[in-house]
Structure 1
Amino acid sequence: MVDSFTSEPFKGNPAGVCLLDKPLSNDFMQSIAIEVNLSETAFVQDQGDYFSIRYFSPIMEIPLCGHATLASAKVLFDQNQDVNEIHFKTAEGLELQAYRNGEKVSLKFPNYGIVDRDAPQALLYAMGIDSILNSAYNYENLELMIELEDADELRNLQPDFDAMKASISDINGVVVTAKSNQPDFDFESRYFWPWSGGNEDPVTGATHTFLTGYWAKKLSKTKLRAFQCSARTGVLELEVLSEEQILITGDARIILSGEMTI
């Protein structure tokens, strides 16, 4: 168990990391994810020149998870002190790179785009939102983005999650974001995903595959610091490398290690 995007234990986003010595069935991995009961559990297996990685929430398989990739890299770097670079490949064939960056880990991730999409009024009502600056959609992660004007409003949201689920059905989650009013950060976000995981994800690397490019253009910057203002909080250092790739850097703390007797 690893707390990602934090240097402090019991902050950031906890992920399970299962290092496999043989393949497991989808049903078996889903059962383990339900048992571990964290937002995501990553299943990692050495394939020679890369590691296969798959992500399961307690509800379903997830195509991409940033904090579980960071957690997996942290475990592998901890076990292999001479290794400074790790290559992952997801179930959909997406290739990811992780780099040792002092005590931190840097992840080379895709720079995804967004398209305009209206947020249903019933969804906004369920989240307690009266007005927005923008709304858009990311196809790769099936996630809706809503931008608010006020970061304080973002921090104070108290959504009705049952009403959220009833208001829209073709998404995995909603990320709500705003320009930060804290001097150390460029923007903030919270991620709600009752459709596919839990009510709120503490820190979400995958949403930053499109939030990074969005805020980089909006703020005319290529390097940004992001704060996920969930109850556990998390910090992400972000850089636009090209139109195709970004770099996500964060701390991680290994909290628990053991062996499953199954």
Structure 2
Amino acid sequence: MTEIQRYAAFTADPGGGNPAGIVLDARGLSDVEMLTIAAEVGYSETAFIVSASGPYRVRYFSPEIEVPFCGHATIATAVALGPGEHVFTTNAGEVPITVDGSGRATLTSVPASVADLDPADLGALLEALRYSGSDLDGSLPPKVAYAGAHHPVIALATRSGLAGLDYDVDALKALMGARDWTTIQLVHRAADDTFDVRNPFPVGGVYEDPATGAAAAALGAYLRELKVVPEDAEVTIRQGHDMGRPSRITVTLIPGDDRVRVSGTAVPITG
């Protein structure tokens, strides 16, 4: 029988953060079996280690699809492996992770990039999200950011606009599937170095992610590209509050490096 561990990532409370399934020995499991397990677990992602030792070959499945990279499941899996230095070989590339003795992990993303969002895609995206141009923060233009997976970054002018998320699931899912977008990174700038975010994830069979490490890394790349924060900034991302699963994600930019560091704690879910 396949052993499945469950951890909550980007929190010190098992009732907070983003739950992740973890299979530390997935050797011999087929794609169909991994997808079936992820659907049965029901979390936004389950991580599967499909190699015997490090560098660990890791794959990530949501209840409906495989994703190239998942930050919260990476943090959770590394914490489950224990303190030290780990390297995960993902579909997006190699991701090194450091875990300290307190259960805090830091991953370093693959090289990140930022691209323009096609105006037609922006229009379709806003329609599916039931937002209009007047809801947007004009100082933070829409873009598509990548740090292992692609995430449109849509900045909202008010916190209430973020709190009022109510989107057309079918329309957004179809658009995301056509454009290979993993989640939508909806953000509101609460302070110079603090952002409140929400992440719709209908392509994975999940309405919303309570903590999204891959999107956090992508947001770090976006903030650096637009020079919104200093090149050596440390940014706090608050997510999950609107879902009753608060999380804290720390994003650190590396001067002279196109990668992004993402840090957080993870704890086992028991019972």
| TM-score > 0.5 by shorter chain | yes
Range into which the TM-score falls when normalised by the shorter chain: 0.7 to 0.9
In structure 2, which of residues 252, 260, 264 is the aligned counterpart of residue 246 of structure 1? Answer: 260
Mapping for residues 89-238 of structure 1, pairs under 5 Å: 89-92=89-92, 94-103=93-102, 104-117=104-117, 118=119, 119-131=121-133, 132=136, 133=138, 134-138=141-145, 141-165=149-173, 169-172=178-181, 173-181=183-191, 186-216=194-224, 217-220=227-230, 222-229=233-240, 230-231=242-243, 232-238=245-251
**8 A Cα contact 1:226 1:235, kept in partner:** yes
AA partner of residue 234 (structure 1)? S
SS of the counterpart of 1:149? Answer: coil
Question: If the length of structure 1 is used for normalisation, what is the TM-score?
Answer: 0.86
% same residue: 30
Give the Cα separation in 1 of the matches to 2:85 and 2:199.
29
**8 A Cα contact 2:145 2:218, kept in partner:** yes
Structure 1 residue ranges (4+ consecutive) displaced by more than 4 angstroms after TM superposition: none
SS of the counterpart of 1:114? Answer: strand
SS of the counterpart of 2:81? Answer: helix
Comparing 9-18 and 142-151, the one that deviates more = 142-151
**8 A Cα contact 1:4 1:250, kept in partner:** yes
- Structure 2: any 5+ residue segments left out of the alignment? 1-5
Give the Cα separation in 1 of the matches to 2:190 and 2:100.
26
Question: Higher helix proportion, which one?
Answer: 2
* Aligned residue in 2 for 1:58: 63
- Structure 1: any 5+ residue segments left out of the alignment? 78-82, 258-262
**8 A Cα contact 1:120 1:167, kept in partner:** no
* Aligned residue in 2 for 1:88: 88
Give the Cα separation in 1 of the matches to 2:180 and 2:246.
24
Q: CA deviation at 1:167?
A: 5.5
Deviations 1:75-132 (A, max 9, x none): 110xxxxx4111111134x111111234211112134121111344343133232222
**8 A Cα contact 1:144 1:171, kept in partner:** no
Residues 43 and 125 of structure 1, relative CA distance in 2, 3 Å threshold: same
Deviations 1:201-255 (A, max 9, x none): 1110111222012224212352111111441221111111243222111011111
Give the Cα separation in 2 of the matches to 1:165 and 1:89.
28
In structure 2, which of residues 16, 24, 44 is the aligned counterpart of residue 19 of structure 1? Answer: 24
AA partner of residue 171 (structure 1)? D
**8 A Cα contact 1:171 1:195, kept in partner:** no
